[in-house]
């Protein structure tokens, strides 16, 4: 079987993109997805994304982790999918699409995608961490020097521990730079390692730190290992709305692979 694919990356978070509007891809073949995402025996990616037809919006997003499991929302993946849809001439500069967590709106301009994330109303505050869902679940810890954290070791321990033992969580370590900028490193479940960037993770970090009064700006610049992002939002009563994740989404290459 020959599979034609596209490779995209958003601040180092990389994805195998497949145009599945004809429904040819065997999405229940999890071993195939794992093989395609394998960095030694396949294409190599943090995840695989299918672009599919939709009746009421521009397209549907179906996202799989590198371990082959269909997963929750991926913010950088959604941004890359918007750029992919533009390359396929499905959209021009505006997009509306469905993902696992619902409806999303986005704009595309000169390689930069601004993606509207879901509203956030529930934020758990604990003694040493925060927990919230921004389309995917995220554990947030504030640290003094994020570059000194052993993200893989500590993240793996938290990811499967305590209240997260059933489904697991993504784990983010956040350093406050100043009132309008932070640094974030993320351990992602389903990849079981640190990634260079995580869109839902940086979104969660921004909302959690503002909610706790650690930051006060409603637009925060984020430095991830793979590059720079920004998150802006509005707060209405206790709900965070109009949350936009903004950053570059880049086409890497296009090819076919024999499976």
pLDDT in tens, 161-206: 878 977 899 999 999 999 999 999 999 999 999 999 999 999 999 9
To the question of domain 2-116+248-258 being in CATH 3.10.310.10, the answer is yes
Q: Is 80 a catalytic residue?
A: no
Rounded CA-CA distance 240/81 in Å is 24
Greater confidence (160 vs 245) lies with 245
Q: What pLDDT shows up at residue 163?
A: 85
Q: Is 198 a catalytic residue?
A: yes
Checking if the pLDDT of 76 tops 90, the result is yes
User: How crowded is residue 86: how many other Cβ atoms within 10 Å of its Cβ?
Assistant: 20
Task: Say yes or no: do domains 2-116+248-258 and 123-246 share a fold.
Answer: yes
Checking if the pLDDT of 92 tops 80, the result is yes
User: How crowded is residue 214: how many other Cβ atoms within 10 Å of its Cβ?
Assistant: 14
Rounded CA-CA distance 137/135 in Å is 7
CATH code linked to domain 123-246: 3.10.310.10
Q: What pLDDT shows up at residue 136?
A: 97
- Annotated catalytic residue within 198, 206, 222, 245: 198
- Annotated catalytic residue within 33, 37, 49, 74: 74
Q: Is 190 exposed, middle or buried (0-12, 13-18, 19+ CB in 10 A)?
A: buried
Q: How far is CA 5 from CA 1, 46, 56, 204, in A?
A: 13, 15, 25, 30
Residue 111's SS3 state is coil
- What helix, strand, coil percent values describe the chain, rounded to 5? 20, 45, 35
* Per-domain residue ranges of the chain: 2-116+248-258, 123-246
The two three-digit tokens of residue 103, written as one number: 């409806």
pLDDT in tens, 209-239: 999 999 999 999 999 999 999 999 999 999 9
Q: What pLDDT shows up at residue 100?
A: 97
CA-nearest of 248, 75, 251 to 172 is 75
């Amino acid at each position: 079987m020959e599979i034609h694919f596209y490779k995209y990356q958003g601040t180092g978070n990389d994805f195998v993109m497949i145009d599945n509007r004809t429904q040819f891809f065997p999405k229940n073949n999890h071993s195939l997805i794992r093989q395609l995402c394998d960095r030694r025996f396949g294409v190599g990616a943090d995840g695989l994304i299918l672009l599919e037809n939709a009746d009421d919006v521009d397209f549907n997003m179906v996202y799989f982790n590198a371990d082959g499991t269909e997963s929750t929302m991926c913010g950088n993946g959604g941004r890359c999918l918007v750029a992919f849809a533009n390359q396929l001439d499905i959209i021009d500069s505006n997009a509306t699409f469905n993902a696992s967590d619902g409806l999303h709106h986005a704009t595309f301009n000169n390689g930069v995608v601004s993606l509207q994330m879901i509203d956030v109303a529930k934020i758990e505050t604990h003694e040493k961490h925060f927990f919230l869902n921004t389309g995917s679940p995220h554990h947030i810890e504030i640290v003094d020097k994020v570059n000194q954290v052993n993200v893989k070791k500590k993240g793996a321990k938290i990811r499967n521990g305590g209240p997260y033992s059933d489904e697991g969580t993504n784990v983010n370590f956040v350093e406050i730079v100043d009132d309008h900028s932070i640094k974030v490193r993320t351990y992602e479940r389903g990849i079981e390692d640190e990634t260079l960037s995580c869109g839902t993770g940086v979104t969660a970090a921004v909302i959690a730190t503002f909610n706790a009064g650690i930051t006060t700006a409603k637009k925060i610049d984020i430095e991830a290992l793979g590059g720079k992002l920004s998150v802006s939002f509005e707060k209405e009563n206790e709900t965070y709305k109009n949350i936009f994740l903004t950053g570059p989404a880049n086409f890497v290459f296009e090819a076919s692979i024999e499976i």
